[in-house]
Amino acid sequence: MTSDDAIRAASERLIRAQETGEPCAPVRDLIGADDLDAAYAVQMGVVERRLAAGAIVVGRKIGATSKAVQDQLGVDQPDFGYLLDDMDVSHGGPISMAGLLQPRVEAEVAFVLSQDIDPGDPDDLTVADVRAAVDVALPALEIVDSRIAGWDIGFTDTVADCASSGLYVVGMDDARPLEQLEPRDVDMTLAINGEVRSSGNGAACLGDPLEALRWLAVQAARFGDPLRKGHLVLSGALGPFVPFAPGDDVLATISGFAPLRATFTD
């Protein structure tokens, strides 16, 4: 069992990397490669520090939902992290990369919840249940990032590092009810400066982005912090993530939505 001291040390290592802009060594030397409870405890230590500084929880993100991303990260299962209000860069203007260390970008479907998802028995939760809890679906770009040098991560490293989260862009003006869009049927292309660099579809996300949402709702309930009405959920990449640089123009085209664009500055 990982000690509280090791969990605190791992949280501090990741916090220091973010604050200094200097990527750190992996934290699996402190918490091991298989102790998921410890990894999520480290994540909560990082999140609680940000909440104490004034950030607000606005939802969750699911990571490593597609085999393409699992292969890129060297993991074999999904994970989740928190979305905070200071991660939202959906303002439409150029996005500063000043706080990012080793960013990559991916395209996905996001959901806004119309009600809590707090099942009495998480094992009984169905895709139909979570579908009924979705208000709207949105196109999204997630700017994933790693505080760990060279993306040298195992599964507990990425979990501890807030599921390798960074920033996100959602097309709030393009929200669609699920009566107008079937998430598992969407197709996606992601272009940088006009060149397609990634592609995929809804079925790449755990078979269905709504299945990814169901998985997240089960995990959130089991960890004692269920999904709530109004939460935004990034359901996971539809294709491989790709690197980008200051000055790049990123365009995600997800069928059923208008194209979603972001540009980046130093």
Q: Is the pLDDT reported for residue 144 higher than 90?
A: yes
Integer angstrom CA distances of residue 111 from 45, 108, 117, 144, 213: 26, 10, 13, 18, 9
* pLDDT at residue 121, as a whole number: 84
Q: CB–CB of 3/35 below 8 Å? A: no
* pLDDT at residue 91, as a whole number: 85
The CATH architecture to which 57-265 belongs is Alpha-Beta Complex (3.90)
Measured distance CA(159)–CA(44) in Å, rounded: 10
Q: Is the pLDDT reported for residue 142 higher than 80?
A: yes
- The residues spanned by each domain of the chain are 57-265
> Please, what is the average pLDDT of the chain?
95
pTM: 0.95
* pLDDT at residue 76, as a whole number: 79
pLDDT band at 129 (very low <50, low <70, confident <90, very high): very high
* pLDDT at residue 65, as a whole number: 87
Predicted confidence (pLDDT) per residue in 31-80, tens digit: 999 999 999 999 999 999 999 999 999 999 999 888 878 888 777 789 99
Cα 196-201-206 angle, rounded to 5 deg: 130
Q: CB–CB of 164/153 below 8 Å? A: yes
Measured distance CA(136)–CA(126) in Å, rounded: 18
Predicted confidence (pLDDT) per residue in 74-123, tens digit: 777 899 999 999 999 998 789 999 999 999 999 999 999 999 999 888 88
